[in-house]
């Protein structure tokens, strides 16, 4: 991969070139020169765009890909193409496949399937066997095969002692434990946020306390055991406050928020559109305000697409029977840029890599190329033509978004839109 990037503004707080506009020469997958007025050499691909920005490659900490088992929803091959064209050079994939990824051979399979792409795949192994919250899965063996974390996607660890043992056990190999923030007994059969909107349209609600109670429990366990805990996709003001306090105590905890939980309130469900049926559910404007405050003060570490392709049989049914989930990856950057500055957006889209993979690719001479190229200018309405996934359950249809992704450069490959 030989290329010359012209006049790119660098957004990378770990780079000495942060905030400057420079040319970048790339030879054989490494940054060889960063400077001004560089001339294109023979064999170099010229990348020159108006209002071009470059950052470390973005990382998405929660992505669902159907394969193996649900290839009609999404395949690994197309899923990685979607990620690349959405600006992500790395994605952590959830274990909600068939079979569930709970053995070392499962992890090896998806890792091998992901080879040869610009975007790297990082499997999350199930925390418990078959994600049933009864017995721990083979965590150490899965880590040795490439698993970067352990969690049961959208399934809470109902047994607190199981979480305690997991946090203690994984300290022996620096493992990262994920615990989905939902107390099932309180959530019950709820379909959306419990509040004025759910009462008005007659749908069963999931109270905010169903999340915050679980978060409080998990943080108490973490304080007792030590270890590394990640709480994925929080959605309530109370959760932000609890995690803020835990970080002030020095606990090793991180958390993420899904982009749609920052962008939409529960009023999006007034017409019973199942594209907005997600878990955790869309909450209130007060919750969104608290989440954004948590982003600004560093309580919330990362934003994820929580991308979850689902086939038509799972979404175009009665609201009560529809599955939770939406595809959001194609819209993540454009939606986030409507809420925060480009510097904060890049920070939120790159923080996950170090937490999950302990790697970083600062934009410096002789560093391996791992770049996302984008612009902050312009706006557009997200439509069917912007959907790249096999499944079409996109909650952002009709949303007004900002900026655009040009593509990525990673793993000796260039993917441009």
pLDDT digits (tens, 9 = 90+) for 110-159: 999 999 999 999 999 999 999 999 999 999 999 999 999 999 999 999 99
The DSSP code for 128 is B
361 CB burial (10 A radius; 0-12, 13-18, 19+): buried
Residues 182 and 223 in one domain: yes
Does residue 84 share a domain with residue 210? yes
> Would you say the C-alpha torsion 13, 15, 20, 21 has a positive or negative sign?
negative
Domain at 319, CATH number: 3.20.20.140
Query: Domain end: 339, 357, 375, which one?
Result: 357
**Which single residue is written with the structure tokens 């939406």?**
326
In the predicted model, is pLDDT for residue 395 greater than 90? yes
When pLDDT is cut at 50, 70 and 90, the band that residue 284 belongs to is very high
* Final residue before a domain boundary, out of 322, 338, 357: 357
- Joined together, the tokens standing for residue 183 give 């107390």
Asked if 315 and 275 touch (Cβ cutoff 8 Å), the reply is yes
pLDDT at residue 403 is higher than 90: yes
In this structure, are 68 and 194 located in the same domain? yes
User: Domain check: are 194 and 239 in the same one?
Assistant: yes
CATH number at residue 13: 2.30.40.10
Query: pLDDT tens across 25-53, in order?
Result: 999 999 999 999 999 999 999 999 999 99
Domain residues for the domain of 380 are 3-53+365-416
Residues 290, 244, single domain; the answer is yes
- Looking at the structure of the chain, the number of domains it has is 2
> Do both 85 and 98 map to the same domain?
yes
- pLDDT tens digits, 185-235: 999 999 999 999 999 999 999 999 999 999 999 999 999 999 999 999 999
**What residues are annotated to the active site?**
306
Q: What is the mean pLDDT of the chain?
A: 97
Give the pair of three-digit tokens for residue 244.
Answer: 């803020």
Cis peptide before 197 (omega within 30 of 0): no
Return the H-helix or E-strand segment holding 122.
Answer: strand 120-125
pLDDT of 90 higher than 90:
yes
Q: pLDDT tens digit string along 343-380?
A: 999 999 999 999 999 999 999 999 999 999 999 999 99
Same domain for 240 and 96, yes or no, is yes
Claim to verify: residue 200 and residue 287 sit in the same structural domain? yes
- Identify whether residues 17 and 132 lie together within a single domain: no
User: Rounded to 5, what percent of the chain is helix, strand, coil?
Assistant: 35, 25, 40
Asked whether residue 185 falls in the same domain as residue 310, the answer is: yes
Distance of alpha carbon 417 from alpha carbon 415, whole angstroms: 7
Does 63 share its domain with 45?
no
244 shares its domain with 336 = yes
pLDDT at residue 363 in the model: 98
Q: Which of 312, 331, 357 finishes a domain?
A: 357
The tens digit of pLDDT for each residue in 286-327 reads 999 999 999 999 999 999 999 999 999 999 999 999 999 999
pLDDT tens sequence across 323-346? 999 999 999 999 999 999 999 999
pLDDT band at 1 (very low <50, low <70, confident <90, very high): confident
């Amino acid at each position: 991969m030989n290329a010359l990037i012209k006049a790119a503004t660098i957004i990378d707080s770990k780079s000495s070139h942060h905030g400057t506009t420079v040319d970048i020469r790339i030879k054989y997958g490494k940054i060889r020169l960063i400077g001004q007025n560089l001339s294109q050499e023979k064999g170099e691909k010229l990348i020159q765009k108006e209002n071009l920005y470059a950052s470390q490659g973005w990382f998405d900490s929660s992505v669902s890909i159907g394969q193996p088992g649900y290839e009609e929803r999404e395949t690994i091959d197309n899923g990685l193409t979607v990620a690349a064209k959405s600006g992500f050079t790395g994605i952590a994939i959830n274990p909600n496949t068939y079979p569930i990824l709970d053995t070392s051979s499962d992890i090896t399979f998806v890792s091998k399937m992901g080879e040869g792409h610009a975007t790297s795949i990082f499997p999350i192994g199930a925390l418990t066997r078959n994600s049933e919250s009864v017995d721990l899965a083979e965590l150490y063996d899965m880590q040795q095969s490439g698993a970067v974390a352990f969690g049961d996607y959208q399934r809470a660890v109902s047994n607190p002692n199981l979480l305690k043992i997991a946090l203690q056990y994984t300290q022996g190999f620096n493992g990262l434990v994920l615990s989905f923030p939902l107390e099932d007994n309180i959530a019950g059969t709820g379909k959306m946020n419990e509040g004025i909107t759910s009462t008005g349209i007659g749908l069963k609600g999931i109270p905010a306390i169903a999340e915050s109670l679980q978060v409080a429990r998990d943080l108490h366990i973490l304080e007792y055991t030590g270890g590394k805990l990640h709480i994925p996709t929080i959605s309530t003001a109370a959760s932000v406050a609890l995690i803020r306090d835990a970080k002030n105590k020095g606990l090793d905890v991180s958390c993420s928020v899904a982009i749609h939980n920052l962008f939409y309130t529960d009023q999006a469900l007034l017409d019973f559109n199942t594209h907005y049926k997600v878990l955790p559910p869309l909450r209130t404007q007060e919750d969104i305000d608290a989440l954004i405050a948590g982003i600004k003060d560093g309580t919330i570490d990362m934003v994820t697409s929580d991308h979850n392709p689902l086939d038509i049989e799972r979404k175009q049914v009665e609201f009560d029977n529809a599955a939770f989930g939406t595809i959001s990856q194609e819209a993540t950057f454009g939606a986030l840029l409507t809420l925060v500055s480009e510097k904060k957006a890049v920070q939120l889209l790159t923080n996950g890599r170090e937490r999950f993979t302990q790697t970083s690719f600062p934009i410096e001479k002789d560093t391996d190329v791992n770049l996302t190229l984008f612009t902050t200018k312009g706006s557009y309405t997200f439509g069917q033509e912007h959907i790249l996934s096999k499944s079409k359950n996109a909650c952002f249809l009709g949303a007004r978004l900002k900026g655009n992704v040009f593509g990525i450069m990673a793993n000796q490959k260039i993917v441009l839109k």
